[in-house]
Structure 1
Amino acid sequence: MYKLYYILFAIAISATAFSQNTIKGKVIDAETQEPIFSASIYFSKLDKGSMSSVDGDFTIVNIPEGNHELVISSLGYATQTFKIKVPSNQDLLILLQPTAIEMEAVIVSTPFHQLQSENVVKVERATVGDLQKAGAITLADGITQLPGVESITTGSGIGKPVIRGLSANRVLVYTQGVRLENQQFGDEHGLGVSSSGVESVEVIKGPASLLYGSDALGGVLYLNPEKYAASNVSSLDAAVNYFTNTLGTEANIGFKTSGNKFKYLLRGNYATHSDYKTGGGKRVTNSRFTEKDLKAGIGYQNNKYRGDLRYNYNNTLAGIPEEIGAQTTSKTETLPNQKLNNHILSFDNKVFLKNSSFNFKLGYIFNDRKEFEEPEDDLAEDLPALEMHLETLNYDLKYNAAKWGNFETIFGIQGMFQTNKNFGEELLIPDAKLRDFGILATTHLHLDNIDLQAGLRFDNRNLETNEYGMEGEPSYFAPVKRDFNSYNGALGAKYNILKSLTARLNLATGFRAPNLSELTSNGTHEGTNRYEIGNADLKNEQNFQIDLALEYRNEHFEIFANAFYNKVNNYIYLNPTSEFVDENPVFRYVQDDAKLYGGEAGMHIHPHPLDWLHIESSLEMVKGEQDSGKNLPLIPATSITNTLRMEFEKTMFLENPYSFISLKSTLAQNKVSDFETNSQGYSLLNAGIGGNFNYINTNFNVRISANNILDKAYISHLSRLKPDNIPNMGRNISLSISAKI
């Protein structure tokens, strides 16, 4: 009940409108002086904006007094930022310069909401639409297109992000502005979020504990929800996707409407897939999955206050594949499988003062995870062998102070309350309570050619578990009561060496408190044939990373290189022993210092006058080692991706048509841990085509994507089915059509 009180209290602080400030203007082409239609005019700190009309005009109401930054962007034009003071009675005339450089977007996952070119920390970003163009079946599959990001998979329906060789509790996921907690320590516990209703994905590669606390030691995957409709606009959209490999279908429908103050949206998604087919033509038994997703939102904004209440319900039924057995295209569930119900409720509040603001976010997450196995004599088939309920309440209060000269400063308090309860016959982790508290300060200094950013943070985590079973018995869980503390900081600089050459240098520390599995495990881990024993005396993992990024960019050529070195003290891992329990070898959680290093590099050529032609190439590499000399597990193999892409403004039949062909070559992985075997290299050929057209006042988008065109039989090093010699997905052609009214 206390969770409801928090939410009602947050609603009660909503401010009311006093006076209205309106911004009007016109967006035109700097060369032709023609109006620009559908340009985005966006106040990044207010999360408020509009689109220009056919005549290039725009109007934005309910703008608070003070100094603001306005971001104007449109496809085919250079993104620009303007500083304006409100109230202002003059109309704005905005001139955009045509360019072949791709349109920039505001980065939300970093604290100052700046364009990537202005950001001190390099952040990878992609829209979900771009990920889907390449034929991604799930969101976890789509994020692997970002440099430095991969996914640990169990078939086609279960995946979890890997950032520069770190995963599980070392990577933090944010959705709807709040941290996602869904028992992410588990090997077969996937991302658990649908791409439906997600607008874009941002990835911070490296320690982000300054901003997000524990578990952001390796980085952050930040999922931005779709925006509301522009003021006084309503829209209805629907989409249908078909996937040839899994005989899968996905249907999506959404409705949005907005007035000057209140905004509403509702979106539903349903996807179902059969067992996937490998490059050898065999279907992987029980890799089928079904997903239902519902998202809803209510927003309100006047010139003093902005509120955004969102809810997401996700229901996933995923088979747990173990072999290539019975060949069937059935989508009906079979054992073993897992049923996941995830509820995410978030409430984002922002109160605007004259030149400063308060931002208060509340998040409530209920994760209900059930796993069903082949029934034993004393267990009915319809009862779960494992059932865990994880409830999480988190809060985030930040004060964006008024600018002092060129300094912009943020102070914040963050925390989390969490309970874990078991209801099934089996226990992976005991019942437990967890409390987090953190306090932070970060500042940004902007000068003509250099930007500096620095910050400090203190965190405390209190964890307490219940005793279970009888002491001395194999299934006994001893009670654990621990406190973990950590101080962390970050220092970064962005320097414009030349007009087109930028360098970024970032130093950051991060930490991760041991999770419940590492502290308390005492039993056989299903699917691994090993008996795992936790260590209640484990210390924090603490790391320090140095990251150097260079980027050269002009109108027709881009090249970048990112290098990192990540030192992790007290790295937690499983160590084999000479003991056996029930004929299973015993592994114990221990610690050793480790290091990871590597980076990403690439280039993008779009030569004049062939501005429609794009030639892209990228390389990503990471190495992971313990100080003892052993290799770290689940380190992605080095890969090289080459892409030829063509984008036009209009053809006879389509608007904004595109086509691409790409070849991703993954090298062999021979530096493996004690649990792994070497992996062979492979190359995958992919292609796609698509575009828009209008019919009866409705805009349609069509696309066709083909992945693994040559039907290559291969096994990814990060596949959990690799020990059973089960290949990844073979050729898959996805067809999609969407309509917007």
Structure 2
Amino acid sequence: MLTLFLIFGYAFSQSNQELKGIVTDKENKPLKGAFVKLNEPNKGTITNDNGEFIISGLQKGTYEINIRFLGYENLTKTVTLPTNNLPRFSLSKTPISLQEVIVTDNHALNRKKEESLGIEIVNEDYLKQNLGGSLMKSLERLPGISTIDIGSGQSKPVIRGLSFNRVVVVENNIKHEAQQWGADHGLEIDQYAVDYVEIIKGPASLMYGSDAIGGVIDMKNNKLPEKNTISGAVDISGKTNNDFIGTSVSLEGRKDWFFASLTATLLDYGDFRVPTDSVDIYNYRAALHDNYMRNTAGNEQNFHLSFGLVKDKIQSRFYLSNVNSKSGFFANAHGLEPRNVDTDVHDRSSRDVQYPFQKVNHLKIINNTTIWQEKSRLELDLGYQQNHREEWSQYVQHGYMPAIFPDTLDFDMDLERKFNKDIYSANAKFFFEPTDKTQLNAGINGEYKENQINGRGFIIPAYRQLNIGGFVFGRHELSPTKQLQAGMRYDYGRIKTFSYFDWYPSPIDDAVDPENNFLQRAATINRSFSNFTWSLGYNYNPGKWNYKVNIGKSFRMPIPKELAANGVNYHRFSYEVGNPDLSPEMAYQLDLGVAFGSKIFAAGVSPFVNYFSNYIYLNPTSAHDRLYGNGNQIFIYTESKVLRYGGEFHSHYELKDWLQLGLIGEYIYSRQLSGEKEGYTLPFSPPASAIINLKYHGKTLGRIEKPYLSVDYKITSAQTNIVPPEVITNGYQVFNLGMGGEVNLYKQKVNLSFQVQNLLNKKYFNHTSYYRLINVPEPGRNFIVNMNIPFHSTKTL
């Protein structure tokens, strides 16, 4: 018996060894979140706050250990157990991509290597260093990303030339839904309440549904506070071009398993300025007072509350947010008679908001719940949103509208349009890892939308819409450097639009009662759509190289505006008409990617080819509506076959340890292959562009820690491929400057960032700008400053 105990004790001691160690950088600072893995046996862990790790259940012997951390070279070492001292592993920095695109954890690096589509990931530091007028404007510097700007405070995302309902915006796993069909409608997102953003370039409808035919902008604010701490930050921002001032205060805390966070944001800005004294609105020239775009001021009040619980095998988090804004439309480019603008009233102040303007309130309630098991994970998402939008302008008679507004109607005479939209969303995703090399993912998404309308003007009818889809997706590691992924999805959607009659009578041919007839703008439409989509991808990551290829099919259901619009667009001087017989869009795309990264040099190229068997767009015709549209040109939704191709390029070279040279660029070509506009490009096609960047980054500079100084030289080619009434846009070059760092003021850390946009105050035009058709140049020189004051308490709560 004693012999058995001795044998058992010896065997236990042999198989109960622990490998302990510390992972640091070359300056001996611990690296939290580094991934530590043994190749044989297949065991791994991540480092804690002090850079320490432990791997248990090992036997005596020699092991090969591999350590990975984002932004550092992989390290492979051999260790022998048992060991008498605590081994230290020191990692050297290496570039992944342009350093302005900052990613913060190993998850981001893995996503870039695993995803076979083009992907960019940025964190809140990047957003603050590149602060624009809106969140989408802050992302515009990324390759393949551009915006449709609506003044200085709002913009819509464009991914590889596709926008509107072809790009899905996701916040905390729930698709953001508002009135995104409108070119003048921005996103109701508070950029101060976003932790990081993941952008997928290319069709991502497999995981996100039909509207993701162009790509996805996925925003998260889900970082967990540390246990038993209270922390927060105060952000103060200012911009000179439109006299912007904003502040955002955040507070978060955690007591064991319960955590909560709160963010409140207040923004106020005036009319923005352009480097010209007049703009040409088609055949009419409007003079500007002191270079101000009159009535483009606005304000915003945002509130975000989050709370939840985190246990060993479950995490549940609630989000409550309310984004409220009021902003003016450029007074000389809205309505039916912009020549009659009372300039004396508008030019008295550059900060007031008068007619015409819009008021938007977006309420959002979300719950994310994740349940973990040993080899599986279940994610459940529930969401409710209410989007309330009002557009106001002075009542002007046109067509057969009465000269005197009747007092019997249930809306104000100056209420141009009103939209009230309720959205209910639900997602369920199940992740399963049967082996270390295989991952399976299945899920279902559902969404119900109901949109009500009111006001004197009609553009789209009220509607209800149901979307539901399910998908399966798998990823298999063929070898440590090769990975295969494939998936398929089925979508079903049903749209019902409601009939609409004018609130005033019109003389209608063959009418039963010619004296009292109300024109029917929209009939009831009840249509359903369904389709299968699929995707197949392959990744190869040998050493410092990364290769990826993805081929897939995606589709998009037509939206109510494309099916049933029938009215004046007061923002574009157009009369827009839907087509109830439109088919859903079908697209096939091939994505490729090649990237290389070493200690001093990184580069990559991401080409794509995209074919639409039927692409839906608003087609200008030669007709004009003089009875109801005040003579405005008629645009009709149509569809055609389209070929698109292009890609992005990035490179980065470390001239010195403290000096970096970078280049990013993008090119997109599109051509209609059928229809009335065969041979033309697509509307809002961005021109080719490139950014040459020189950046200094150091450890300290006097009292400044982590100082940086960055200069961008942006080159944009002319856009001669247009769809009338678009006009040719000349190329331009512009300089932007950025600098910042951390300073300690009375033992308080303060993060400072400073930008100068359009450094030389150059007059140039952005082809995708909302106001391009009326020759409004981009804003002039703009000084932007952001001060972030964080605070942190580790006292026991």
Give the TM-score band, short-chain normalised: 0.7 to 0.9
Q: 1:437 to 1:108 in 2, by over 3 A?
A: farther
Equivalent of 1:708 in 758, 762, 775:
758
SS of aligned partner of 1:570: strand
Match of 2:23 in 1: 28
Conservation of the 8 A alpha-carbon contact between 1:547 and 1:562: yes
Instruction: Determine whether 1:275 maps to 2:271.
Output: yes
Q: Does 2:310 match 1:296? A: no
Secondary structure (helix, strand or coil) at the match of 1:402 reads strand
The aligned counterpart of 1:353 is 373
The 8 Å contact of residues 268 and 293 in structure 1, kept in 2 or not, is answered as: yes
Instruction: Summarize deviations over 1:10-47 as a string: whole Å, max 9, x none.
Output: xxxxxxxxxxxxx9986432767x4516x34699xxxx
State the partner residue of 2:247.
Answer: 251
Measure, in 1, the Cα distance between the counterparts of 2:114 and 2:24.
23
Deviates more, 1:486-495 or 1:327-336: 327-336
Name 2:489's counterpart in structure 1.
Answer: 457
More displaced 10-residue stretch of structure 1: 99-108 or 575-584: 99-108
Match among 687, 691, 694 for residue 744 of structure 2: 694
Q: Distance in 1 between matches of 2:149 and 2:449?
A: 27
User: CA 1:80/1:385 → structure 2, altered by over 3 Å: closer, same or farther?
Assistant: farther
2:419 is matched with: 388
Contact kept, 8 Å, 1:469 with 1:475, in 2: the verdict is: yes
User: 1:360, 1:428 → 2: CA distance?
Assistant: 36
Deviation of the 1:553 alpha carbon: 0.9
For residue 417 of structure 1, the aligned residue among 448, 460, 465 is: 448
Equivalence map 1:188-587=2 (5 Å): 188-280=184-276, 282-323=291-332, 326-327=346-347, 329-376=349-396, 377-378=404-405, 384-404=415-435, 406-446=437-477, 447-469=479-501, 474-496=519-541, 498-582=542-626, 583-587=631-635
450-459 vs 331-340, which deviates more? Answer: 331-340
- Tell me how large the CA RMSD over aligned residues is: 2.9
Paired with 1:242 and 1:373, the residues of 2 have a C-alpha distance of: 30
Worse overlay, 94-103 or 515-524: 94-103
Letter in 2 for 1:369: R
Does the 8 Å contact 1:158/1:191 carry over to 2? Answer: yes
Report Cα offsets for 1:566-585 as digits up to 9, x if no partner: 10121112234454322233
- Which residue identity lines up with residue 117 of structure 1 in the other structure? K
Q: 1:206 to 1:30 in 2, by over 3 A?
A: closer
C-alpha contact (below 8 Å) 1:120/1:452 kept by paired residues: no
1:454-506 superposed Cα distances (whole Å, 9 cap, x missing partner): 0000000011121222798544210000010111000111112x411221111
Change in 2 beyond 3 A, CA 1:94/1:164: farther
Q: Distance in 2 between matches of 1:30 and 1:601?
A: 30
Among candidates 638, 643, 663, match of residue 693 of structure 2: 643
Shift of the 25–310 alpha-carbon distance from structure 1 to 2, 3 Å rule, reads farther
Report what 2:7 is aligned to: none
Secondary structure, aligned partner of 1:220: strand
> Runs of 5+ in structure 1 lacking a partner?
1-22, 44-48, 60-69, 83-90
Corresponding residue number in structure 1 for 2:57: none
Cα distance in structure 2, aligned partners of 1:30 and 1:458: 47
TM-fit CA distance, 1:364: 1.0
Indicate the percent of aligned positions where both proteins have the same amino acid. 26
Partner of 1:121: 117
Code of the residue aligned with 2:551 in structure 1: it is L
Q: Distance in 2 between matches of 1:532 and 1:705?
A: 40
Separation of aligned partners in 2, 1:536 and 1:93: 70
2:135 aligns to what? 139
8 Å contact from structure 2 (residues 393, 414) kept in 1 = no
- SS of equivalent to 1:629: coil
1:97 aligns with one of 87, 91, 96: 91
Could you tell me how far apart the structure 2 residues matched to 1:310 and 1:330 are? 36
Pairing partner for 1:660 from 691, 710, 718: 710
Larger Rg: 2
Distance 1:589 1:93, change over 3 A: farther
Cα distance, 1:667–1:322 mapped onto 2, change above 3 Å = farther
Please state whether the residue corresponding to 1:655 is helix, strand or coil. strand
1:701 maps to a residue whose letter is N
Q: Is the 8 A contact 2:23 2:47 kept in 1?
A: no
Q: Distance in 2 between matches of 1:456 and 1:108?
A: 24
Question: In 1, distance between residues paired with 2:237 and 2:633?
Answer: 45
Which residue type is aligned with residue 462 of structure 1?
A: R
Is contact 2:239–2:245 with CA below 8 Å preserved after alignment?
A: yes
Report if aligned partners of 1:484, 1:540 keep a CA contact under 8 Å in 2: yes
Structure 2: which amino acid aligns with 1:29? T
Q: Is the 8 A contact 2:499 2:520 kept in 1?
A: no
Q: Is the 8 A contact 2:612 2:641 kept in 1?
A: yes
Secondary structure of 1:145's aligned partner: coil
| SS of 1:580 mapped into structure 2 | strand
CA distance in 1, matches of 2:762, 2:551: 41
Question: What letter is aligned with 2:643?
Answer: K
Letter in 1 for 2:521: Y
**For the Cα contact (< 8 Å) 1:154–1:321, is it kept in 2?**
no
1:316 is displaced (CA, Å) by 1.2
Whether the aligned pair in 2 keeps the contact of 1:492 and 1:504 (CA below 8 Å) is yes
Letter in 2 for 1:512: R
Asked whether the 8 Å contact 1:165–1:596 carries over to 2, the reply is no
Residue 375 of structure 1 deviates from its aligned partner by 3.1
Q: CA deviation at 1:139?
A: 0.8
Equivalent pair of 1:713/1:727 in contact (CA under 8 Å): yes
Structure 2 residue ranges without an equivalent (≥5): 1-17, 37-44, 55-65, 78-84, 97-101, 277-289, 334-342, 397-403, 503-507, 512-517, 792-797
Which residue identity lines up with residue 378 of structure 1 in the other structure?
F
- Give the TM-score normalised by the residue count of structure 2: 0.81
Q: How big is each residue's C-alpha offset from its partner over 1:384-427, in whole Å with a ceiling of 9 and x where there is no partner?
A: 22111111111110111232462100011111011111132323
* In 1: Cα distance, 2:654 partner to 2:775 partner: 42
CA spacing shift, 1:585–1:239, aligned 2, 3 Å:
closer
Q: Offset of 1:269 from its aligned partner? A: 0.7
Is residue 50–residue 231 contact of structure 1 (8 Å, CA) maintained in 2? no
Letter in 2 for 1:439: G
8 A Cα contact 2:741 2:751, kept in partner: yes
Write the letter of the residue equivalent to 2:624: F
Structure 2 residue matching 1:250: 3-state secondary structure: strand
**Is contact 2:672-2:681 (8 Å) kept?**
yes
Aligned residue for 1:293, secondary structure, equals strand
